[in-house]
Chain A
Amino acid sequence: MTAARTPLDTPPLAIQDLSAHAEGTERPLLEGIELAVPAGSVTAVIGPSGSGKTTLGLAALGASRHGVRLTGQAVLAGTDLLLLEPARRPAARAGRAAQLPQHPATVLDPVRRVGGVLTELAALGHADRAGRKEAVRRALAAAGLDPDAIRRRFPHQLSGGQQQRLALACALVTGARLLVLDEPTSGLDPALAHALGRTVRTLADGGAGVLLLSHDLPLVRDTADRVTVLEHGRAVDAGPTATVLGGGGADPDPGARAPHARRSTVEPSADRHPATRELLAAERRTRAGQAVTPGTAGNDGTTSAPEGPRGVVARGIVVRRRAGDPLAGPVSMAFPPGSRTALLGPSGSGKTTFARVLAGLTTPSQGDVRMDGGPLPRRVDRRTAAQRRAVQYVHQTSADSFAERRPLREQLADTARLLRGLRAEEAAAEAKDLAGVLGLDEALLLRTPDRLSGGQLQRCALVRALTARPALLVCDEVTSALDTVSRERLIEALPRMLVPDRTALLIISHDAPVVRALAAEAAWFDGGRCVRRGPVDELPPIVWSGEPEPGPGGADRPARGG
Chain B
Amino acid sequence: MTGTFRVKRGLAEMLAGGVIMDVVDAEQARIAEDTGAVAVMALERVPSDIRRDGGVARMSDPAMIEGIKAAVTVPVMAKARIGHFAEAQVLESLGVDFIDESEVLTPADEAHHIDKWAFTAPFVCGATNLGEALRRVSEGAALIRSKGEAGTGNIVEAVRHLRAIMGDMRKITIADGPELFEWAKRLQAPLPLVQEIAETGRLPVPLFCAGGIATPADASLVMQLGAQSVFVGSGIFKSDDPARRARAIVEATTHFRDAALVAKVSTGLGAAMPGLEIGSLETKLADRGW
Q: Do A and B bind each other?
A: no
Partner-A contacts on B (CB < 8 A): none
